[in-house]
Structure 1
């Protein structure tokens, strides 16, 4: 079972997230929180595989809660729930180690896929979130969209052919194990490639590497469940 914590200050949103996750028999929501402080405490108590956090919550916000969870309970992966207009927060959360980003108004299947992906150690960016992050970077003085895409492609071109394959799969939301099976190699080899990719791209985590993959346009989609 994939044990999950939900944190959002709106009871209706929490109920909706719980209802969507309940459609997957392998997912068990073990706790709910209405603010970031309670989320951190409940993660410490229940040790879920995944914490699904709203970005804006009273007291301790989702970004600060995510950073504390990653620092104190590193086995718990964090997914951030965002709404339109929170792009700056998404970029901040990327640097804080969040593994997944989903839009509250997105398709329910994305929520289930995102929880499954990060529980398996993958990074998961909703396609809409990825597109917004890339566009937002271009609109905030970080380089025009075409320039960022060109720069990302140059960075990817400096990777080995195999590292490029791994990055494309990583950007599509696959875990190390899934990438290993897709490429017919052992998982340890994939881990070594991922470490090299992060170092050569100059990014801190898989989610940030996934953004580069989206910018470069090399995503290999995650396979649909049977």
Structure 2
């Protein structure tokens, strides 16, 4: 195993799911599964003990569900990044998970290739949401009372900034959950150009990631003004 492999802990209520995830991740030299559990309370204890970098966390664990685990990890293991592993029928709980510091949400019916990809992205400091999950989170998390006054670095959100037409078009697509590559294809520009525009938008609006940008867009009606 590579010395730079991402240390991952997997928690799921079903042993057969744990076995499947372990089998998928075993194929990737850059990821090491250092522990697993099918119980919520045991998951907390093992995470504190093993100090994984990324946790793939089932929402419906026995004795302590995923939200309880997330809430506890905020104080007992604040450095680990958590990807919630849940069925699409639990979308109403995704918002609470994000408020509790969840770094990503992976649907249980997602392609197996996304397991590794989501871990890599979250480890790199990004938020992982697919287009369907992003839309669900935004719809429930975009009311004025829920919109954060500060971003994840603790800095205040900026007031409306002067955005170019192209930047507004990209914001609309971000709010709809599209990834950079998909945006580039839709707008007939390169993926690097999309990244450059996003860098400028993040700076202008004072947001630090795609989710905050999407929430800002909904809150300020930017998602319908392209």
Kindly state the Cα deviation for residue 49 of structure 1 after the two structures are TM-superposed.
Answer: 0.7
Where does residue 221 of structure 1 map in the other structure? none
Correspondence 1:190-201 to 2 at 5 A: 193=203, 196-197=206-207
Match of 2:58 among 35, 54, 59: 54
Unaligned runs of 5+ in 1: 144-154, 199-205, 218-226
1:103 aligns to 2:107 (yes or no): yes
Cα-to-partner distance string for 1:63-109 (whole Å, 9 max, x where unaligned):
11012213222220000011021011111101111000010110112
Cα-to-partner distance string for 1:161-217 (whole Å, 9 max, x where unaligned):
49x69988897779xxxx9xx549xxxx99x9499326xxxxxxx574165279638
1:158 aligns to 2:160 (yes or no): yes
Distance 1:22 1:169, change over 3 A: farther
Where does residue 149 of structure 1 map in the other structure? none
Structure 1 length-normalised TM = 0.67
Q: Larger C-alpha radius of gyration, 1 or 2?
A: 2
Distance 1:87 1:29, change over 3 A: same
Alpha-carbon separation, structure 2, partners of 1:99 and 1:129: 13
**What is the aligned length?**
185
Indicate the SS of the match to 2:36: strand
Distance 1:134 1:69, change over 3 A: same
Where does residue 82 of structure 1 map in the other structure? 86
**Cα RMSD for the two superposed structures:** 3.9
Distance 1:105 1:69, change over 3 A: same
Larger % of helix: which?
A: 1
Structure 2 length-normalised TM = 0.67
